[in-house]
Structure 1
Amino acid sequence: MRVAPVSENLTTTDAAASVARTSSLDALDALEAEAIHVIREVVAEFERPVLLFSGGKDSVVVLHLATKAFWPAKVPFPVLHVDTGHNFPEVLRFRDETVARLGIRLEVASVQDYLDDGRLQERADGTRNPLQTQPLLDAIAAGRHDAVFGGARRDEDKARAKERIISLRDEFGQWDPRNQRPELWTLYNGRHTVGQHVRAFPISNWTELDVWRYIEREGIALPPLYFAHEREVYARDGMWLAVSDVSAPRAGETVERRTVRYRTVGDLSCTGAIVSEAATVSDIVREVAASTLTERGATRADDRLSEAAMEDRKKDGYF
């Protein structure tokens, strides 16, 4: 916390008032302090935490917060990415560059491995996001991770709005929204038995706008997909999908070259872009401030499968 120097000419009362004014937290400071508190509490209470890290903006912000929480030491836990095999190449490059720069161990759970050996089957719609659950749960068990950090926020989806900051998962990795523990006075209950684990969401109380304002303030690097660029896309279900080996237009869908950007970067086959000229973080802050849709509601086809699509997946063990 930065406190301006107090003049020697001030009285004791004046000096105290001056310190109080200059040390008050603004909204981003308060959110940062809460998130760092959560991260430190989890590391103090659990034996083998891990951070879900996809290279997307929310996981990047959580990792940035973790580096601040333990500076000048390194982040004391690995990161885990569930790779669908349909990820944007730009995001995978950013992921690898980030963990190399920070000297963090990267664990990868591959959906493709499960498809290759028959443990999973491709879906008829070609979307692999719902297939991430089993590889995730197996990776948690293999790493004996008792706490899993995630970048989920309550403003993203109705199901995520039901989450506590520390959310218990049972022996099967499943979530019961009716069995949530109270978190009064920012006291977090991490009690669990053998086989259970918790999901920890340090930025649960942040909004998408908070995230972008924080990225702007901290100068956090992101994959280039988040910024406006020209790309071949086609329209489907109100979204602009990228042309790729795993995402091709159907009959009657026309490929166009448009200036777009991504509000979220997930599976290529179900993550849509938005038409945008926002080429800088400041541009995006202004754009998000004027938006009336969350990024998942606007650009994720897998969340449109049903009204309760996200909640159903979370009950099974999804992020």
Structure 2
Amino acid sequence: MSAQNLATAPAAPAAPTTPASLPVPAPAAPGRPHRLSQLDVLESEAIHIIREVVAEFERPVLLFSGGKDSVVMLHLAAKAFWPGRVPFPVLHVDTGHNFPEVLAFRDATVARLGISLEVAGVQDYIDDGRLQERADGTRNPLQTLPLLDAIAAGRHDAVFGGARRDEDKARAKERILSLRDEFGQWDPRNQRPELWNLYNGRHTVGQHVRAFPISNWTELDVWRYIEREGIDLPPLYYAHDREVYLRDGMWRAVGPVSAPRADEQVELRTVRYRTVGDMSCTGAVESGAATVHDVVREVAQSTLTERGATRADDRISEAAMEDRKRDGYF
């Protein structure tokens, strides 16, 4: 080809670039097979499950609260379908007792990714009489009815959740694809076998499936993945000064739905949150872990799960989580 032809020939299309948040693995050294790390294996399994559900179901949705596990789930979904958009909406059951910084993070995240957010408000159900406030003030058990109604209204046949088996013994019983009957209920005695990476999503009209792509992850895996991927989280996951009071061995935040009793002293302490639920039932832990790396080191030394250490709603009874799951809760 002449120099003139070279100058006027159309340029080859540029190769797609990978976003900074989706790093490309380094190539294997010459002569050595490429071996996946533990995080690579967990990520690959989760992305496979997400793609499998999207391929097999018509109207999936992802539960997204702005908490660390749902943030990781959304990140995995973005990687699974990049450079396209996440092909399903996200759903949040808003109790009205959420931390304001978590709600702000939730809204900013869905706006950045350009995905649809569906919100089911517990307060709406209380206002019109479909639900009543509990004597203990917690609203977590009240999420079940709004969740099931939102699933039915959206005709969602698959619902992604960020539950992990290491969190609670009830969640340890659950399959990765878990069938719910026409009433949204879960029967722990009627579960399907899951061999290798074969998942059974068969269901009839009215039933739906809950899908848990990070079921095999631990809290430490989640934090190591957050560190590796550079994933942003709400700031309350890191050490900060907050007014708190001690109740039942947990530091509760002072707020409009979480007020101390007359005999509970308010103190300013440096704390962080291991899990994010309602202000009325989620405790903080004293911590100086101000960076992701600090949190990874702290979690590696912990002997308690995040729910066992900081969730008052799981202390209602020995089978509190399983009872809620039977009724349709996640």
| Residues 83-127 of structure 1, C-alpha deviations (whole Å, 9 max, x = no match) | 000000000000000000000000000000000000000000000
Cα distance, 1:172 vs structure 2: 0.2
Letter in 1 for 2:118: E
1:127 to 2:138 alignment: yes
Q: In the TM superposition, what are the counterparts of 1:281-292 in structure 2 within 5 Å? A: 281-292=292-303
Q: Secondary structure at the match of 1:184?
A: coil
Q: Distance in 2 between matches of 1:81 and 1:141?
A: 14
Letter in 1 for 2:175: R
Q: Distance in 2 between matches of 1:107 and 1:268?
A: 22
Cα distance, 1:3 vs structure 2: 6.0
The equivalent residue for 1:215 is 226
1:181 to 2:192 alignment: yes
Q: Secondary structure at the match of 1:107?
A: strand
The equivalent residue for 2:4 is none
The equivalent residue for 2:283 is 272
The equivalent residue for 2:320 is 309
Structure with greater proportional helix content: 1
Q: In the TM superposition, what are the counterparts of 1:22-171 in structure 2 within 5 Å? A: 23-171=34-182
Q: Distance in 2 between matches of 1:4 and 1:101?
A: 31
The equivalent residue for 2:263 is 252
Cα distance, 1:5 vs structure 2: 6.7
Q: Distance in 1 between matches of 2:63 and 2:158?
A: 10
| Residues 9-45 of structure 1, C-alpha deviations (whole Å, 9 max, x = no match) | xxxxxx4xx2x2xx21110000000000000000000
Letter in 1 for 2:69: D
1:204 to 2:227 alignment: no
Q: Distance in 2 between matches of 1:105 and 1:126?
A: 31
| Residues 243-278 of structure 1, C-alpha deviations (whole Å, 9 max, x = no match) | 001001112110000000000111110000000000
Cα distance, 1:211 vs structure 2: 0.1
Q: Distance in 1 between matches of 2:95 and 2:263?
A: 28
Q: Distance in 2 between matches of 1:254 and 1:101?
A: 41
Cα distance, 1:186 vs structure 2: 1.1
Q: Which consecutive unaligned segments of at least 5 residues does structure 2 have?
A: 1-23
Letter in 2 for 1:130: P
Letter in 1 for 2:141: P
Q: Distance in 2 between matches of 1:6 and 1:250?
A: 62
Q: Secondary structure at the match of 1:63?
A: helix
Cα distance, 1:4 vs structure 2: 2.9
Q: TM-score, normalised by structure 2?
A: 0.92
The equivalent residue for 1:4 is 27
Q: Which consecutive unaligned segments of at least 5 residues does structure 1 have?
A: 8-14
Cα distance, 1:162 vs structure 2: 0.3
Sequence identity percentage: 84
Q: TM-score, normalised by structure 1?
A: 0.95
Letter in 1 for 2:247: R
4+ runs deviating over 2 angstroms = 1-7
Q: Distance in 1 between matches of 2:234 and 2:29?
A: 42
| Residues 160-204 of structure 1, C-alpha deviations (whole Å, 9 max, x = no match) | 000100000000000000111110021000000000000000000
